[in-house]
């Protein structure tokens, strides 16, 4: 597996976008989305809530696990394969080189050598590698001299005068998740890691993904708070209009759920906002119709065609007048959640301590963080708060140069 493949695998998480909880979470999920945005608003408005936490989604790569194997008490580093039926962990540099190659092997080798110095006694920590020594560059962007690292899509830039610790390090890691249990398969995850858990080592630059504690510090203006509150309130009013049966059916009907989410993702990739939700619902139905017709045309046997035609009729019958009306209201609710989310994202990005850019074929462009994760410590649930249009463009546009592409040139 090369570095690019490993990055793509490591980015496969099970967290959903907060607005997608309306589609994927049924009644409870839609309600939880409202509560999550309300709690984030309150946190930024200066109200303390110990059960809630926000972490920053750093755009690092590859993902790395470091900890103690509960079966033998030995230190290891690992990739995502740690949670396979037959866990793959590396307890020596020899193990790393026997299973990986190229830049991935080089990064995991440094990870094993340096992270073993952190004094981990139990459990497993997950993070993202932000850089190793050779990834650091001195660059001038908009007249400012920076030390930069470009692990994936986002370029992180630290003013030269503030980069002493980074330049001294052999590896940089951002930690975000802790696992504990008697076996790898039975381990439970808890989001949020404090770097106080580790020994301070000069050769390891490490940060927690936790957003800075701003309890009691109002950072939203009254105008900003009121605007966000209006969107959250509108979402709540729309939520009350949606039939519970439709919300739950959309979440549990595998085919309908897949159609809705897949079609929405085509809009995201096309950078197309859903402003007219009634038209979006009609386009969805036509898209499903055309998709089935294309699949039917490809089939050879009459029996296969008849079976696919029956599936098409069943899928389209779901979109009766009541379900379609409720679905449109669900789309309206999503739009209100997205509007509140974008205002919160703008504010969160303004508080970031590290400059972030996108590298294009024409130079550098300022961007925000990859996104944020809202965590509820009472349920240990987590949802993504991400600007999907920006994230999609940055990931799929051929004009954006990725970290592994920059390294190969």
Average pLDDT of span 252-268: 96
Q: Which stretches does DSSP call E strand in 163-309?
A: 171-180, 188-191, 204-208
- pLDDT average, residue stretch 118-136: 96
User: Do 65 and 108 contact (CB within 8 A), yes or no?
Assistant: no
Q: Which two tokens stand for residue 282?
A: 């009609």
Closest-CA residue to 197 (of 130, 139, 254, 119)? 119
Share of the chain above pLDDT 70, in %: 92
In tens, the pLDDT along 161-182 reads 999 999 999 999 999 999 999 9
Domain positions in the chain: 59-208+403-408, 254-317
Give whole-number Cα distances, 169 to 96, 116, 185, 198, in Å.
21, 14, 33, 15
User: At 377, is the pLDDT very low, low, confident or very high (cuts 50, 70, 90)?
Assistant: low
Question: What is the predicted pLDDT for the residue at 349?
Answer: 86
Mean pLDDT within 272-288: 97
pLDDT in tens, 54-71: 888 899 999 999 999 999
Q: For residue 346, is the peptide bond before it cis, meaning its omega torsion is within 30 degrees of 0?
A: no
State the Cα–Cα distance between residues 112 and 114, nearest whole angstrom: 6
Between 1-10, 40-49, 194-203, 332-341, the lowest mean confidence (pLDDT) is in 1-10
Task: Give the C-alpha separation, 235 to 20, whole Å.
Answer: 13
In this predicted model, what pLDDT tens digit does every residue of 2-28 receive, in sequence order? Answer: 333 333 333 334 578 999 999 999 999
The model's pTM is 0.83
Convert the pLDDT of each residue in 215-248 to its tens digit: 555 578 889 999 999 999 999 999 999 999 999 9
* Residue 406, pLDDT score: 59
The residue ranking higher by pLDDT, 209 or 233, is: 233
For the chain, state the CA radius of gyration.
Answer: 23
Distance CA 301, CA 327 (A): 35
Output b/e per residue, 15-51; b: 16+ Cβ within 10 A. Answer: bbbbbbbbbbbbbebbbbbbebbbbbbbbbbeeeeee
């Amino acid at each position: 597996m090369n570095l690019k493949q490993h990055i793509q695998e490591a980015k496969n998480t099970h967290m959903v976008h907060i607005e997608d909880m309306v589609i994927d979470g049924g009644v409870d999920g839609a309600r939880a989305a409202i509560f999550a945005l309300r709690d984030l608003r309150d946190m930024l408005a200066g109200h303390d809530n110990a059960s809630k936490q926000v972490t920053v989604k750093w755009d690092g790569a590859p993902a790395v696990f470091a900890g103690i194997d509960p079966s033998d008490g030995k230190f290891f580093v690992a990739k995502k394969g740690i949670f396979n039926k037959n866990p793959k962990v590396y307890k020596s540099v020899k193990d790393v080189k026997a299973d990986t190659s190229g830049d991935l092997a080089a990064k995991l080798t440094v990870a094993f050598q340096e992270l073993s110095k952190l004094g981990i006694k139990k459990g497993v920590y997950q993070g993202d590698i932000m850089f190793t020594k050779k990834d650091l560059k001195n660059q001038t962007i908009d007249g400012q001299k920076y030390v930069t690292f470009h692990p994936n899509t986002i370029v992180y830039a630290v003013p030269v005068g503030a980069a002493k610790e980074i330049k001294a390090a052999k590896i940089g890691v951002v930690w975000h998740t802790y696992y504990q249990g008697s076996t790898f398969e039975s381990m439970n995850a808890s989001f949020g890691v404090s770097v106080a858990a580790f020994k301070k080592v000069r050769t390891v630059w490490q940060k927690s993904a936790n957003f800075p504690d701003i309890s009691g510090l109002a950072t939203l203006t009254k105008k900003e708070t009121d605007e966000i509150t209006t969107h959250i309130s509108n979402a709540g009013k729309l939520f009350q209009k949606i039939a519970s049966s439709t919300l739950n059916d959309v979440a549990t009907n595998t085919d309908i759920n897949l159609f809705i989410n897949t079609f929405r993702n085509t809009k995201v990739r096309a950078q197309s906002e859903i402003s007219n939700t009634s038209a979006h619902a009609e386009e969805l139905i036509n898209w499903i119709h055309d998709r089935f017709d294309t699949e039917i045309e490809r089939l050879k046997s009459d029996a296969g065609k008849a079976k696919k035609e029956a599936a098409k009729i069943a899928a389209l019958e779901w979109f009766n007048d009541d379900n379609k009306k409720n679905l449109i209201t669900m789309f309206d609710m999503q739009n209100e959640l997205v509007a509140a989310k974008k205002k919160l994202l703008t504010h969160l990005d303004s508080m970031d301590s590290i400059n972030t850019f996108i590298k294009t074929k024409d130079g550098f462009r300022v961007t925000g963080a990859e996104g944020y994760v809202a965590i509820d410590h009472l349920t240990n649930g987590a949802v993504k708060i991400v600007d999907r249009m920006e994230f999609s463009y940055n990931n799929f546009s051929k004009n954006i140069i990725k970290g592994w592409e920059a390294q190969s040139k």
